[in-house]
């Protein structure tokens, strides 16, 4: 029995409804990207018009191939023609995927994304290194993870994670570049690296807000934010913009570093954010079968104990020392893109083991750990 051209065309559309746009993570049919499906008279070949969001779409050839492949499950040959959306169509699509009001998706009460900020009291303790490696380790466990570099003055995430492109603009949205399937946005891409950034107060607030609102991350299990050191404007802004975020505090084993880091934790407590735990970085170096501790010992545990005492009311279950990260000889091994590093894998496991969607939500009780 032979199908009519119409039946074949609907079959092709059904196949295309299974093809996802790699950036928007929704199917091409519901995104309005399939302009036409025409089956030729012979019933064995078809012409498909694929409407790209922007002319220079970096995923153009990938999409064309995916469309052809899907269509050729129904006909023996498919020809894919490309067109481009008008600005109006692009805006409609932007509204469609983001909703009519433009708000920060991670701040919505029904958001299932866990937002984790990575903070420290002082600079250079390894926040960015921890953020980058943790992201790769979580992704290696199959979680969908996004990274935001909110360090306006000292953005370092793109080179650390090996990202050199900037975002792709689609209408009013920015599509972040991806590495190992992790979408990465940096304020550095936003302002352009040749611009010295010297924003203050309200400007900073607006920049971070816009950045979080206008970037399309899709559905994430976890969003990691690399904060600038200290308890300055950006840290406060982020905690206001993302009321249900929780915090990881990074410190080195030195006692003085952990005393400073306590301030970051105290800020989280003041603003009602959960402190997930402490990560001690540069804990030891392996040399000749021995562990040397050039930066002292015990700072991470001491900080965890102090934060536990300080936050005993809001977090009666305490603030654990979640990981100790050894020093590498040379930074060229960092980050471990595939999560092979034990310390980061362990940290990722401990974080992933916590239930999704409960962190920092005002439940009135503290979730048991």
Ligand X SMILES: Nc1ncnc2c1ncn2[C@@H]1O[C@H](COP(=O)(O)OP(=O)(O)OP(=O)(O)O)[C@@H](O)[C@H]1O
* Residue 57, helix vs strand vs coil: coil
Phi first, then psi, for residue 192 (nearest 5°) are 85, 130
Q: Whole-number minimum distance, CB 17 to ligand X, in Å?
A: 43
Residue 252 engages ligand X in binding (rule: CB under 6 A): no
Nearest distance in Å: CB 328, ligand X = 4
Residue 64 contact partner, candidates Mg ion, ligand X, none, CB within 5 to 8 A by sort of partner? none
**Does 281 participate in binding Mg ion (rule CB under 5 A)?**
no
CB atoms under 10 Å from CB of 322, counted, come to 18
- Token pair, residue 251, equals 């410190």
Q: How far is the CB of 10 from ligand X (least distance, A)?
A: 53
Please tell me the distance from the alpha carbon of residue 126 to that of residue 120, in angstroms, as a whole number.
9
Q: Is 328 in the site for ligand X (CB under 6 A)?
A: yes
Phi/psi at 348 (5° precision): -60, -40
Instruction: Give the nearer residue to Mg ion in terms of CB position, either 85 or 157.
Output: 157
Phi and psi angles of residue 91, each rounded to the nearest 5 degrees, phi first: -65, -40
Instruction: Tell me which residue of 264, 221, 262 sits closest to 351, measured CA to CA.
Output: 221
Residue 184 interacts, among ligand X, Mg ion, none and using kind-specific CB cut-offs from 5 to 8 Å, with: none
| Closer of 48 and 268 to ligand X (Cβ) | 268
Q: What SS3 state is found at 92?
A: helix
Instruction: Please list every residue from 303 through 342 that binds Mg ion, using CB under 5 A.
Output: none
222-241 binders of ligand X (CB under 6 A): 229
- The span from the CA of 117 to the CA of 159, in Å, is 19
18, 99, 124, 294: which one contacts ligand X (CB under 6 A)? 124
Which of 46, 49, 30, 28 has the alpha carbon at shortest distance from 38?
Answer: 46
* Residue in 51, 90, 114, 127 binding ligand X, rule: CB under 6 A: 127
Nearer to ligand X, 70 or 125 (CB): 125
How far is the C-alpha of 203 from the C-alpha of 197, rounded, in Å? 11
| Minimum gap (Å) between residue 210 Cβ and ligand X | 22
Binder among 120, 245, 315, 345 for ligand X (CB under 6 A): 120
Site string for ligand X, 264-293 (x = CB under 6 A): -----------------xx-----------
d(CA 356, CA 111): 10
Footprint (CB under 6 A) of ligand X, residues 132-171: 151, 154, 156
Query: Is 123 near ligand X (CB under 6 A)?
Result: yes
| Residue with smaller CB distance to ligand X, 156 or 254 | 156
Counting residues that bind Mg ion (by CB under 5 A) gives: 3
Using alpha carbons, list the distances in angstroms from residue 94 to 27, 33, 64, 105: 14, 13, 21, 14
Q: Which of 111, 128, 168, 258 touches Mg ion (CB under 5 A)? A: 128
Restricted to residues 134-163, the positions that interact with Mg ion (CB under 5 A) are 156
Note the Cα 340 to chain centre separation in Å.
20
Dmax over Cα atoms in the chain, in whole Å?
80
Q: Which does 336 bind (CB under 5 to 8 A by kind): ligand X, Mg ion, none?
A: none
* Burial tier of 65 (Cβ tally within 10 Å: 0-12, 13-18, 19+): exposed
How far apart, in whole angstroms, are the C-alpha atoms of residue 123 and residue 121?
7
Give contact residues for ligand X (rule: CB under 6 A).
Answer: 120, 123-129, 151, 154, 156, 229, 281-282, 325, 327-328, 331, 334
């Amino acid at each position: 029995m032979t199908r009519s051209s119409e039946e074949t065309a609907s079959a092709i559309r059904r196949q295309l409804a299974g093809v996802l746009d790699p950036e928007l993570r929704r199917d091409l049919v519901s995104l309005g990207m399939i302009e036409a499906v025409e089956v030729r008279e012979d019933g064995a070949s078809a012409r498909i018009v694929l409407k790209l969001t922007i002319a220079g779409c970096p995923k153009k050839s990938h999409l064309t191939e995916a469309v052809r492949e899907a269509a050729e499950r129904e006909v023996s040959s498919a020809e894919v023609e490309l067109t481009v959306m008008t600005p109006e169509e692009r805006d409609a699509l932007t509204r469609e995927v983001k909703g009519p009001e433009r708000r920060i998706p991670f701040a919505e009460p029904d958001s299932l994304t866990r937002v984790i900020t990575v903070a420290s009291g002082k600079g250079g303790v390894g926040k960015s290194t921890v953020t980058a490696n943790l992201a790769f380790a979580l992704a290696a466990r199959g979680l969908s993870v996004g990274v935001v570099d909110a360090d306006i003055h000292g953005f370092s995430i793109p080179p650390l994670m090996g990202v050199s492109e900037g975002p792709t603009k689609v209408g009013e949205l920015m599509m972040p570049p991806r590495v190992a399937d992790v979408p990465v946005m940096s304020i550095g891409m936003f302002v352009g690296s040749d611009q010295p950034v010297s924003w203050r107060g309200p400007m900073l607030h607006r920049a971070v807000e816009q950045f979080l609102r206008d970037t399309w991350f899709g559905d994430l299990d976890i969003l990691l934010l690399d904060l600038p050191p200290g308890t300055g404007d950006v840290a406060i802004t982020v905690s206001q913009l993302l009321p249900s975020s929780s915090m990881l505090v990074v410190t080195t084993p030195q006692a003085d570093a952990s005393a400073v880091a306590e301030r970051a934790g105290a800020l989280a407590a003041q603003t009602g954010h959960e402190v997930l735990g402490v990560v001690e970085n540069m804990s030891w170096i392996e040399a000749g079968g021995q562990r040397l501790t050039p930066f002292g010992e015990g700072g991470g545990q001491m900080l965890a104990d102090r934060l536990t005492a300080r936050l005993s009311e809001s977090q009666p279950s305490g603030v654990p020392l979640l990981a100790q990260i050894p020093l590498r000889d040379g930074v060229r091994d960092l980050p471990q893109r595939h999560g092979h590093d034990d310390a980061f894998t362990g940290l990722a496991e401990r974080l992933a083991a916590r239930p999704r969607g409960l962190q920092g939500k005002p439940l009135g009780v503290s979730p048991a750990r």
